[in-house]
């Protein structure tokens, strides 16, 4: 790494590849798909503008300024532009790399820096520590969230975030990870053996959703293996620009899961799935190409997996509901999984499915975006809520905890009736 | 540089939020989709109405600053690039559709309205605005008019020019000019409107546009035909037209383009084929049936390797959408994509393909060709790397020789992208020194100080 040639005004550590920014031919096809461009009308807040800024830094025409940093973090990393880009430019990934650069150019002040490092490098990679640390949050109704408030410097959050964060957190149950047996046998005729990748947010905030995921998988005939030593997928680190820790975690998970004899590695968190599928690029330098390619091929979002295997519908109970589906960015844009969840929903007897307008438009959650840019996030959310309202649906199905939090909170705020469920919860209801 | 006084006046007139001076913003408002071209403006303004456009023009005149109009920056000849710096005037905030007149079949909108937004708004009232440039999802009407944008439906429905009925614009002297109207017939004096269309932002800044609408076709049929040899595809185009069938769309892609598009859209286009034609016939159902039979028969007669009919509107739309991505999809192959816009009389289509193939070999280049076959409007695209000086030299030699022959056949150096910066050298070859001199006199009459969009259309010292 250190002997890498410096690219323009980027630092040599974790810099973008020049080809990746040169690839943009500025056709503007990304502009109408970008939520932050739709919001601001500002070219520099569009994928084309952001890539151009990165290119200017790479060509030494611009220093890595505060504005470049601001755009790197203002990007939702929703990847809608990646889907829209015919030339294969990945503006979201370029911005992730720029976030890492931003930390090198604008180091955090000592206290916030050590706290951020503690969370990203010690706490998140260590599930036991993480679960203990959530105890105060679990008791937040009693204790308040002063603990979090005191550390609001952590992610450089805006002043309104505390209030919002408090109201967003769902009723918490004990983390799922310690409760899951290492191996849970399949029911009925066994169709295969899968490993379950249990995301941090899922085990901590939505343990009951992931419990349904495991239950649905076993009901569908799959033996489920959940290795307890698994760590965070690394997505929060990438999002916050800590690429070095991401690589350490990724290597650990890669080795752990590749040692298992399983047909697939299934996750019910779109964010985790996207991050796991990107290990191949992330760990490229390590040179284990075959192993990485096999790993990538095994990673399956639960919808992707069940649609591929074919849903066993015999015995499913009718669910008499009008349902619509919000596509998580990290499922449809980052992983290209769009048809599969709809197929599964429609396969459940009794369901009336109604497609919403702009189903693949970001909900404004986007990791810590919703806490950092509360106003902008709310505007993006409002657009989504209007589209949900227009369907007249009773249930809103999604497949990612970030979207789940944001949408459930938004619907409640707006006094709307829709209940948010993860797709495996819906399948769980049908499973009985 | 622009004086503080000038900036203050602009802030007073347009509001602080509509005046952009931050370096990072300026840096990203001095490009369009033309490769290799970039300039940085000194200031960017976002007016919200005609009066504000007049104010900006006044400031530019008083302070002798050049002013360059810009929409979404999707142009392909560099028309919106501020070569002298100065002020870039972005019309994107003037994005209101003002009226859809169902009695006169017209729509009136501000210059910053996005092409597809207008299409959708009139479609909701059962009407049709046909011009559909490749970038319709983001291109603005103002930009379409200034470049006289074409699109996939040009063959049957014509181009932007054929739909503009009236324009409101601000002249370089700061005055507001209205030209044309809702009357179908209008021969009162010089046709300023027609002069302004395609003037690439060098004569006036358009603020409001009235376009003609038509009833949409009731039915359509979409075909995909594949060919082992691209010249057979060329022959198919000529034979269909000779059979007095005018399809609404007749698009061609060569092998390189098919593969790049397939890499992106993944809809199962056959990678081994030399060419494909996307053909659409539309109109009254009875006519569509008749024409569709004719098209199918001719395709089989000329020896198309395979002919497919789109099974429904959705599949037809996805095929057209795939075609729209051709240029950008080609861009994934190499860092630099040089796109040209050679247009020949339709009867010369097959010869043009043969010529492109020969020149590709001669100059050892990678070229993907696609375009509006029915219009004789091809986009031979050189896939190269701007860091390779020798390759760039060969690419330019390729175009030089191509254009020489295109002009000899009575074609044009630009079918729909405009001259801008990129093709200044070629214009004189096509229209001769006399033609250039007249054009320059017209420019002089509108803009004696030369403040409006300088450096476009005419090469320095060109007479």
CATH number, domain at B202? 3.30.465.10
Enter the ipTM: 0.94
**Which residues 6+ apart lie within 8 Å of A298 measured at CB?**
A257, A262, A263, A264, A265
Name which of A9, A18, A25 to mutate to probe chain B: the one with the most chain B Cβ atoms within 10 A of its Cβ: A25
Q: Distance between CA atoms of A259 and A273, rounded to whole angstroms?
A: 19
Q: Where are the alpha helices (DSSP H) in B101-165?
A: 115-123, 141-147, 154-157
For residue B431, the tally of other CB atoms under 10 A from its CB is: 15
Q: Are A79 and A102 contacting, i.e. CB atoms less than 8 angstroms apart?
A: no
- Residue A107 banded pLDDT, cuts 50, 70, 90: confident
**Is pLDDT above 90 for B32?**
yes
User: Does residue B238 sit in the same domain as residue B358?
Assistant: yes
β-sheet bridge partners, residue B99: B108
Q: B264 and chain A: CB distance < 8 Å anywhere?
A: yes
- Residue B265 banded pLDDT, cuts 50, 70, 90: confident
User: Does residue B106 sit in the same domain as residue B155?
Assistant: yes
pLDDT in tens, B310-327: 888 888 888 888 888 888
User: Does residue B310 sit in the same domain as residue B431?
Assistant: no
pLDDT of residue B293: 96
Chain mean position to CA A92: 13
Contact check, Cβ <8 Å, A41/B93: yes
Average pLDDT over residues B393-412: 95
- DSSP letter at B16 equals G
User: Does residue B151 sit in the same domain as residue B85?
Assistant: no
- Residue A86 banded pLDDT, cuts 50, 70, 90: confident
Q: Distance between CA atoms of B295 and B287, rounded to whole angstroms?
A: 12
Q: Are B402 and B354 contacting, i.e. CB atoms less than 8 angstroms apart?
A: no
User: Does residue B327 sit in the same domain as residue B442?
Assistant: no
Q: Distance between CA atoms of A127 and A250, rounded to whole angstroms?
A: 15
pLDDT of residue A4: 60
pLDDT of residue A427: 97
Instruction: Say which range, A68-77, A103-112, A130-139, has the weakest mean pLDDT.
Output: A130-139
Q: Coil, helix or strand for B333? A: coil
User: Does residue B364 sit in the same domain as residue B237?
Assistant: yes
pLDDT of residue A162: 62
Higher pLDDT, A44 or A199: A44
pLDDT of residue A141: 37
Average pLDDT over residues B320-335: 85
Strand ranges, E, within A67-121: none
Report how many Cβ contacts below 8 Å link chain A to chain B: 87
pLDDT in tens, A218-269: 999 999 999 999 999 998 888 878 888 899 999 999 999 999 999 999 999 9
Q: Are B146 and B198 contacting, i.e. CB atoms less than 8 angstroms apart?
A: yes
Q: Which of B90, B125, B144 is the last residue of a domain?
A: B90
User: Does residue B378 sit in the same domain as residue B439?
Assistant: no
**Is pLDDT above 90 for B263?**
no
The B19-20 sheet, strands edge to edge? B19-20, B43-45, B87-90, B67-70
Q: How would you classify residue B455: left for phi > 0, otherwise alpha for psi between -120 and 50, otherwise beta?
A: left
- Residue A1 banded pLDDT, cuts 50, 70, 90: very low
Contact check, Cβ <8 Å, B25/A44: yes
Of A19, A27, A62, the CB nearest to B33: A27
β-sheet bridge partners, residue B208: B110, B168
User: Does residue B388 sit in the same domain as residue B286?
Assistant: yes
Average pLDDT over residues B442-462: 89
pLDDT in tens, A340-381: 999 999 999 999 999 999 999 999 988 778 878 889 999 999
For residue A285, the tally of other CB atoms under 10 A from its CB is: 8
Length of chain B as a residue count: 463
Chain B residues in contact with A49 (beta carbon < 8 A)? 28
pLDDT of residue A389: 97
Q: Which of B180, B212, B244 is the last residue of a domain?
A: B212
User: Does residue B319 sit in the same domain as residue B304?
Assistant: yes
User: Does residue B316 sit in the same domain as residue B170?
Assistant: no
Q: Are A119 and A108 contacting, i.e. CB atoms less than 8 angstroms apart?
A: no
pLDDT of residue A166: 67
**Is pLDDT above 60 for A154?**
no
pLDDT of residue A143: 38
DSSP letters, B128-143, are: B-----TTTTT-BHHH
DSSP letters, B367-409, are: EEEEEEGGGTEEEEEEEE-TT-HHHHHHHHHHHHHHHHHHHHT
For residue B183, the tally of other CB atoms under 10 A from its CB is: 10
pLDDT in tens, A110-147: 656 666 676 677 666 777 766 666 554 544 433 334 44
Q: Are B71 and B112 contacting, i.e. CB atoms less than 8 angstroms apart?
A: yes
What does each C-alpha distance from B410 to B32, B252, B344, B404 come to in angstroms?
A: 29, 21, 7, 10
Pairing of strands A264-267, A299-301: parallel
For residue B321, the tally of other CB atoms under 10 A from its CB is: 12
Q: Which of B60, B90, B120 is the last residue of a domain?
A: B90
Q: A53 and chain B: CB distance < 8 Å anywhere?
A: yes
Q: B163 and chain A: CB distance < 8 Å anywhere?
A: no
pLDDT in tens, B34-86: 988 999 999 999 999 999 999 999 999 999 999 999 999 999 999 999 999 99
In this structure, what token pair is assigned to residue A282? 């992330």
Task: Indicate whether B206 belongs to any domain.
Answer: yes
Closest CA to B91 of B53, B146, B137: B53
Contact check, Cβ <8 Å, B24/A68: yes
H helix or E strand, kind and range, residue A313:
none
In this structure, what token pair is assigned to residue A29? 């096809």
pLDDT in tens, B266-304: 888 899 999 999 999 999 999 999 999 999 999 999 999
Q: Coil, helix or strand for B451? A: coil
In this structure, what token pair is assigned to residue A148? 């979090």
pLDDT in tens, B160-193: 999 999 999 999 999 999 999 999 999 999 999 9
CA dihedral A315, A311, A422, A80 (to 10 degrees): -160
- The torsion angles phi and psi of A195, rounded to 5 degrees, stand at -95, 145
Q: B267 and chain A: CB distance < 8 Å anywhere?
A: no
Place of tokens 């009232």: B125
Burial class (CB in 10 A: 0-12, 13-18, 19+), B125: exposed
What does each C-alpha distance from A308 to A54, B147, B365 come to in angstroms?
A: 39, 48, 42
Strand ranges, E, within A220-271: 222-225, 264-267
Task: Indicate whether B446 belongs to any domain.
Answer: yes
Closest CA to A254 of A223, A217, A236, A227: A227
User: Does residue B193 sit in the same domain as residue B112?
Assistant: yes
Q: Distance between CA atoms of B230 and A37, rounded to whole angstroms?
A: 41
User: Does residue B198 sit in the same domain as residue B233?
Assistant: no
Task: Indicate whether B413 belongs to any domain.
Answer: no
Q: Where are the alpha helices (DSSP H) in B189-312?
A: 192-196, 230-242, 255-265, 285-302
Task: Indicate whether B141 belongs to any domain.
Answer: yes
Mean pLDDT across chain A: 88
- Residue A158 banded pLDDT, cuts 50, 70, 90: low
Give the whole-number percent of chain A exceeding pLDDT 70.
Answer: 87
Distance from the Cα of B29 to chain A's closest Cα (Å) equals: 7
Q: A68 and chain B: CB distance < 8 Å anywhere?
A: yes
Q: What is the residue range of B173's domain?
A: 97-212
- Residue B386 banded pLDDT, cuts 50, 70, 90: confident
Contact check, Cβ <8 Å, A86/B332: yes
Task: Indicate whether B416 belongs to any domain.
Answer: no
CATH for B45: 3.30.43.10
In this structure, what token pair is assigned to residue A192? 């295969």
pLDDT in tens, A160-215: 666 677 677 777 788 888 899 999 999 999 999 999 999 888 988 899 999 999 99
What does each C-alpha distance from A6 to A13, A245, B129 come to in angstroms?
A: 9, 22, 51
pLDDT of residue A204: 85
Length of chain A as a residue count: 432
Average pLDDT over residues B222-250: 93
- The total domain count for chain B is 4
β-sheet bridge partners, residue A224: A184, A194
Contact check, Cβ <8 Å, A23/B331: yes
Closest CA to B146 of B2, B32, B35: B32
Domains of chain A: 18-105 (1.10.1060.10), 110-168 (no CATH), 177-229+246-308 (3.40.50), 315-431 (3.40.50.11810)
Q: Distance between CA atoms of B242 and B236, rounded to whole angstroms?
A: 10
Average pLDDT over residues A282-296: 91
DSSP letters, A127-169, are: HHHHHHHTHHHHTHHHHTTHHHHHTTTTTT--TTHHHHHHHHS
pLDDT in tens, B428-443: 999 999 999 999 999 9
């Amino acid at each position: 790494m250190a002997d890498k040639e410096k690219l323009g005004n980027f630092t040599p550590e974790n810099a973008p590849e020049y080809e990746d920014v040169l690839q943009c031919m500025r056709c503007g096809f990304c502009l109408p798909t970008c939520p932050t461009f739709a919001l601001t009308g500002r070219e520099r807040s569009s994928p084309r503008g952001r890539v151009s800024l990165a290119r200017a830094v790479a060509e030494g025409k611009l220093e890595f300024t505060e504005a470049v940093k601001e755009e790197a973090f203002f990007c939702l990393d929703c990847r809608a532009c990646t889907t829209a880009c015919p030339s294969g430019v990945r503006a979201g990934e370029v911005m992730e790399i720029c976030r890492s650069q931003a930390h090198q150019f604008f180091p955090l002040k000592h206290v916030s820096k050590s706290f951020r490092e503690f969370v990203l490098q010690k706490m998140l990679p260590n599930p036991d520590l993480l679960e203990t640390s959530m105890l105060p949050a679990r008791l937040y109704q009693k204790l308040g969230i002063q603990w979090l408030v005191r550390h609001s410097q952590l992610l450089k959050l805006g002043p309104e975030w505390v209030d919002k964060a408090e109201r967003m957190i769902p009723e918490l149950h004990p983390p799922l990870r310690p409760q899951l047996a290492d191996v849970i046998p399949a029911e009925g005729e066994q169709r295969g053996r899968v490993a379950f990748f249990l995301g941090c947010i899922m085990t901590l905030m939505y343990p009951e959703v992931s419990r349904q995921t495991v239950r649905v998988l076993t009901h569908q005939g799959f033996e489920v293996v959940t290795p307890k030593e698994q760590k965070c997928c690394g997505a929060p680190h990438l999002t916050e620009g800590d690429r070095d820790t991401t690589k350490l975690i990724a290597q650990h998970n890669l080795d752990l899961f590749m040692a298992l004899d399983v047909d697939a590695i299934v996750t019910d968190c779109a964010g985790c799935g996207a991050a796991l599928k990107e290990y191949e690029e992330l760990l490229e330098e390590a040179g284990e190409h075959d192993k990485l390619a096999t790993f990538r091929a095994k990673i399956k979002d639960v919808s992707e997996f069940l649609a591929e295997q074919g849903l066993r519908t015999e015995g499913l109970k009718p669910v008499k509901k009008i349902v619509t589906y919000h596509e998580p960015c990290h499922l449809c844009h980052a992983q290209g999984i769009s048809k599969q969840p709809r197929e599964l929903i429609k396969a459940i007897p009794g369901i009336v499915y109604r497609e919403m307008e702009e189903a693949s438009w970001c909900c404004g959650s986007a990791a810590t975006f919703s806490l950092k840019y509360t106003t902008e996030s709310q505007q993006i959310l409002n657009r989504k809520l209007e589209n949900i309202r227009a369907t007249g649906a009773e249930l809103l199905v999604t497949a990612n905890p970030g979207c789940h939090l944001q949408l459930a909170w938004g619907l409640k705020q707006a006094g709307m009736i829709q209940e948010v469920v993860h797709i495996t919860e819906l399948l769980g209801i049908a499973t009985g | 540089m622009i004086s503080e006084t000038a900036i203050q006046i602009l802030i007073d007139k347009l509001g602080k939020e509509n005046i952009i001076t931050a370096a990072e913003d300026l840096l990203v408002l001095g490009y369009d989709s033309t490769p290799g071209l970039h300039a940085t403006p000194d200031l960017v303004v976002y007016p919200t109405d005609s009066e504000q456009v007049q104010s900006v023009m006044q400031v530019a005149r008083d302070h002798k600053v050049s002013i360059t109009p810009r929409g979404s920056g999707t142009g392909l000849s560099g028309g919106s690039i501020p070569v002298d710096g100065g002020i870039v005037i972005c019309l994107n905030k003037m994005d209101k559709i003002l009226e859809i007149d169902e009695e006169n079949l017209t729509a009136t909108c501000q210059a910053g309205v996005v092409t597809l937004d207008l299409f959708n708004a009139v479609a909701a009232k059962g009407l049709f605005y046909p011009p559909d440039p490749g970038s319709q999802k983001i291109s603005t009407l103002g930009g379409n008019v200034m470049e006289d944008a074409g699109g996939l439906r040009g063959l049957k429905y014509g181009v932007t020019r054929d739909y503009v009925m009236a324009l409101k614009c601000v002249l370089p002297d700061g005055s507001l000019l209205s030209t044309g109207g809702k009357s179908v017939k209008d021969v009162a004096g010089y046709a300023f409107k027609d002069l302004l269309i395609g003037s690439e932002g060098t004569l006036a800044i358009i603020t409001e546009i009235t376009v003609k609408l038509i009833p949409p076709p009731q039915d359509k049929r979409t075909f995909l035909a594949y060919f082992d040899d691209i010249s057979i595809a060329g022959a198919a185009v000529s034979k269909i037209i000779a059979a007095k069938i005018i399809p609404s769309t007749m698009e061609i892609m060569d092998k390189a383009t098919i593969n790049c598009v397939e890499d992106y859209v993944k809809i199962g286009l056959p990678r081994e084929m030399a060419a494909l034609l996307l053909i659409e016939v539309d109109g009254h159902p009875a006519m569509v049936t008749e024409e569709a039979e004719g098209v199918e028969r001719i395709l089989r007669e000329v020896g198309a390797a395979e002919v497919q009919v789109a099974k429904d509107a959705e599949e037809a739309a996805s095929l057209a959408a795939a075609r729209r991505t051709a240029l950008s999809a080609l861009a994934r192959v190499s860092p630099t994509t040089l796109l040209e816009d050679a247009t020949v009389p339709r009867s010369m289509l097959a010869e043009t393909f043969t010529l492109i193939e020969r020149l590709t070999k001669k100059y050892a280049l990678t070229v993907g060709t696609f375009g509006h076959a029915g219009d004789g409007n091809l986009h031979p695209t050189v896939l190269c790397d701007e860091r390779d000086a020798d390759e760039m030299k060969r690419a330019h030699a390729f175009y030089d020789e191509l254009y020489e022959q295109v002009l000899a056949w009575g074609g044009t150096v630009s079918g729909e992208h405009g001259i801008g910066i990129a093709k200044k050298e070629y214009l004189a070859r096509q229209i001769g020194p006399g033609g250039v001199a007249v054009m320059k006199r017209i420019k002089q009459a509108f803009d004696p100080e030369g403040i409006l969009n300088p450096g476009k259309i005419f090469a320095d010292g060109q007479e």
